[in-house]
């Protein structure tokens, strides 16, 4: 234990004049005076066990194979735990040439990446190294692990950030520094949606993490979906064939890069596709070091790491990171454990529906299932009431959709349903958007208010309102049935046969 030095006042940090001596003293105190080495004893599956290595959990080490076929120097590895006096490490690279007794050296720091404005326009791997064939980006080193900002120092979210997607900007508005989950199966348009957002968001910088994607999809995303927006974006990707630790690192690296821009006062949008693959990578690590599997094989550390990752984005005293995290929900199982955990951490969710995608309705956002928990803080009363009106019309249509489809609903029997049917095409046209169709929050809002006005003009301001007042409820439930009865009776009943039957009678009288 070293005595605190008189000038060693943490309040002075960093860089106050009296702090210079203090900083030197601290540097000497914390310095690694002497190399900390260990030797490889065992390699079991993905885990390297080293003896004699005094290193902390999360510390970066280097494994030095004596002969490495295919060249290359030391393999970086990270301490992931300890067992029976041995240090457990997982490699951040290809583990070749390793043998019993291979030397492992501790570096004294966690994994760090170079961050700086030169990263804009670059495509990096999970460890921050360039994938685009250009030189290593210059920049200061930053640890990929960080604590989230202190909760009380975080400003409240009061402003909307434009995402450039009409359906979202108008009906699921996202605040500057809000975190939204995008719940979707595969192939329903996540990548196109992220590309649309990256191209038209009002934020200054996009940081996009592709975790566990197929190799082919990375290039497709960068060239097709992102396009010109690459110049104000940083893409970090770890494809599915990369070691689990590298896939995890990609999520942390991207978050650290977003934090760098946020600390410069910028508004950043961080998009991560997908958190589910991040959770799967953490599960792989957990199982490899002997954690017990819990819900659906996910280990407890998965549910400890998720909030640690997701809480790092959001507002901060300077700048903000708006977080959009995709969650894979295959078979539309919204209660799968990762989806459940993520939903409880984030401030809202957007659901992409396979049904809509099958109907070629893109972006396939299921508005009725999507919510933004901050709508009240970031939109005006007028916008909220127009949004509620449109959602109400959509809900009414959905409730009667089957009747309408089989022709069992008779127009005029229920004003609410009539309004929903009349407004269906304009609402659909409003919600659909081609990937290259630009839109701003102002466009989305005025189109939304236009829809409300059109609904009022078509059926009057009260019909179709969400409230269940007497008339609406009365004409909402029963007449649907009346409609069915009328149309069932129509062709074969009193109408047709009754008519001709009446004619002879009249004729007879004449």
Ligand X SMILES: Nc1ncnc2c1ncn2[C@@H]1O[C@H](COP(=O)(O)OP(=O)(O)O)[C@@H](O)[C@H]1O
**Strand runs labelled E in 239-367:** 267-273, 314-315, 320-328, 348-351
CB 40 within 8 A of CB 29: no
Query: Toward ligand X, which CB reaches closer, 78 or 366?
Result: 366
Residues 266-285 that bind Mg ion (CB under 5 A): none
CB of 192 to ligand X, least distance (A): 3
Structure tokens at 84: 């029976």
Distance, in Å, from the CA atom of 113 to the CA atom of 106, rounded to the nearest integer, reads 17
Residue 276, binding choice from Mg ion, ligand X, none, Cβ under 5 to 8 Å by partner class? none
CB of 190 to Mg ion, least distance (A): 5
Query: Toward ligand X, which CB reaches closer, 212 or 363?
Result: 363
Query: Toward ligand X, which CB reaches closer, 37 or 192?
Result: 192
CB of 273 to Mg ion, least distance (A): 6
Structure tokens at 421: 């049917």
Distance, in Å, from the CA atom of 253 to the CA atom of 279, rounded to the nearest integer, reads 16
CB 59 within 8 A of CB 109: yes
Distance, in Å, from the CA atom of 492 to the CA atom of 510, rounded to the nearest integer, reads 28
Which of 87, 102, 144, 191 is close enough to bind Mg ion by CB under 5 A? 191
CB of 477 to ligand X, least distance (A): 37
Residues 447-506 that bind Mg ion (CB under 5 A): none
Residue 183, binding choice from Mg ion, ligand X, none, Cβ under 5 to 8 Å by partner class? none
CB 166 within 8 A of CB 441: no
CB of 28 to Mg ion, least distance (A): 50
CB of 502 to ligand X, least distance (A): 56
Query: Toward ligand X, which CB reaches closer, 261 or 362?
Result: 362
Residue 434, binding choice from ligand X, Mg ion, none, Cβ under 5 to 8 Å by partner class? ligand X
Within 13 Å, how many C-alpha atoms sit on residue 374's CB side?
Answer: 23
CB of 243 to Mg ion, least distance (A): 22
Residue 189, binding choice from Mg ion, ligand X, none, Cβ under 5 to 8 Å by partner class? ligand X
CB 216 within 8 A of CB 210: no
CB 329 within 8 A of CB 278: no
Looking at 186-194, 227-235, 250-258, 406-414, which segment touches Mg ion (CB under 5 A)?
Answer: 186-194
Residue 102, binding choice from ligand X, Mg ion, none, Cβ under 5 to 8 Å by partner class? none
| Residue of 347, 111, 117, 135 whose CA lies nearest to 252 | 111
Q: In Å, how far are 41, 53, 78, 390 from 88, measured between CA atoms?
A: 10, 10, 8, 56
CB 82 within 8 A of CB 73: no
CB 433 within 8 A of CB 164: no
Environment class of 247 (CB within 10 Å of its CB; exposed 0-12, middle 13-18, buried 19+) = buried
Query: Toward Mg ion, which CB reaches closer, 191 or 201?
Result: 191
Distance, in Å, from the CA atom of 373 to the CA atom of 180, rounded to the nearest integer, reads 9
Note whether 326 binds Mg ion by CB under 5 A: no
Query: Toward ligand X, which CB reaches closer, 191 or 315?
Result: 191
Return residues touching ligand X (CB under 6 A).
184, 186-192, 362-363, 433-435
CB of 30 to ligand X, least distance (A): 45
Query: Toward ligand X, which CB reaches closer, 96 or 186?
Result: 186
Residue 420, binding choice from Mg ion, ligand X, none, Cβ under 5 to 8 Å by partner class? none
Query: Toward Mg ion, which CB reaches closer, 191 or 200?
Result: 191
CB 162 within 8 A of CB 169: yes
CB of 428 to ligand X, least distance (A): 13
Query: Toward Mg ion, which CB reaches closer, 149 or 212?
Result: 212
Residue 177, binding choice from Mg ion, ligand X, none, Cβ under 5 to 8 Å by partner class? none
- Collapsed DSSP state (helix, strand, coil) of residue 128: coil
Q: Which residues bind Mg ion (CB under 5 A)?
A: 191
């Amino acid at each position: 234990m070293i005595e605190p030095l008189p000038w060693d006042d943490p309040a002075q940090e960093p860089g106050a004049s009296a702090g210079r001596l203090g900083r030197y003293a601290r540097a000497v105190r914390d310095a690694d005076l002497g190399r900390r080495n260990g030797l490889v004893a065992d390699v079991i599956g993905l885990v390297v066990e080293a003896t004699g290595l005094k290193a902390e959990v999360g510390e970066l080490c280097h494994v030095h194979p004596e002969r490495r076929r295919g060249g290359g120097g030391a393999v970086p590895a990270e301490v992931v735990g300890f067992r029976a006096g041995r240090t457990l490490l997982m490699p951040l690279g290809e583990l070749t040439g390793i043998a019993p007794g291979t030397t492992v050296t501790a570096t004294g720091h966690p994994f760090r990446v170079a961050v700086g404005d030169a990263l804009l326009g670059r495509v990096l791997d999970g460890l921050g190294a360039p994938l685009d064939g250009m030189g290593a980006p210059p920049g200061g080193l930053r640890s990929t692990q960080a604590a989230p900002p202190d909760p009380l120092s975080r400003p409240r979210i009061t402003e909307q950030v434009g995402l450039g997607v009409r359906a979202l900007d108008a009906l699921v508005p996202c605040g500057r520094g809000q975190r939204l989950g995008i719940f979707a199966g595969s192939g329903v348009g996540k990548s196109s949606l992220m590309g649309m957002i990256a191209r038209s968001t009002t934020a200054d910088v996009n940081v996009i993490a592709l975790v566990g994607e197929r190799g082919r999809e990375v290039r497709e995303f960068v060239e097709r979906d992102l396009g010109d927006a690459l110049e104000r974006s940083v893409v970090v990707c770890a494809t599915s064939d990369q070691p689990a630790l590298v896939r995890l690192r990609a999520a942390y690296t991207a978050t650290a890069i977003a934090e760098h821009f946020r600390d410069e006062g910028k508004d950043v949008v961080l998009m991560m596709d997908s958190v589910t693959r991040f959770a799967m990578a953490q599960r792989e690590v957990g199982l490899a070091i002997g954690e017990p599997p819990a819900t659906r094989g996910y280990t407890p550390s998965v549910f400890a790491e998720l909030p640690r990752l997701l809480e790092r984005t959001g507002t901060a005293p300077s700048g903000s990171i708006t977080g959009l995290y995709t969650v894979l929900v295959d078979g539309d199982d919204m209660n799968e454990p990762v989806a459940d955990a993520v939903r409880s951490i984030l401030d809202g969710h957007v659901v992409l529906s396979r049904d809509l995608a099958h109907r070629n309705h893109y972006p396939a956002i299921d508005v009725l299932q999507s919510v933004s928990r901050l709508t009240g803080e970031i939109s005006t009363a007028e916008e909220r009431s127009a949004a509620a009106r449109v959602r109400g019309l959509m809900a009414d249509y959905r409730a009667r959709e089957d009747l309408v489809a089989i022709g069992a609903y008779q127009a005029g029997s229920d004003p609410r349903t009539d309004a929903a049917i009349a407004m269906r095409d304009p609402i659909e046209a409003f919600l659909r958007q081609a990937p290259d169709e630009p839109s701003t929050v102002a466009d989305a809002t005025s189109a939304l208010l236009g829809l409300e006005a059109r609904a009022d003009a078509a059926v009057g301001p009260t019909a179709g309102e969400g409230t269940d007042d007497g008339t609406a409820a009365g004409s909402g439930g029963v007449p649907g049935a009346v409609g069915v009865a009328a149309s069932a009776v129509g062709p074969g009943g009193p109408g047709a046969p009754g008519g001709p039957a009446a004619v002879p009678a009249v004729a007879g009288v004449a």
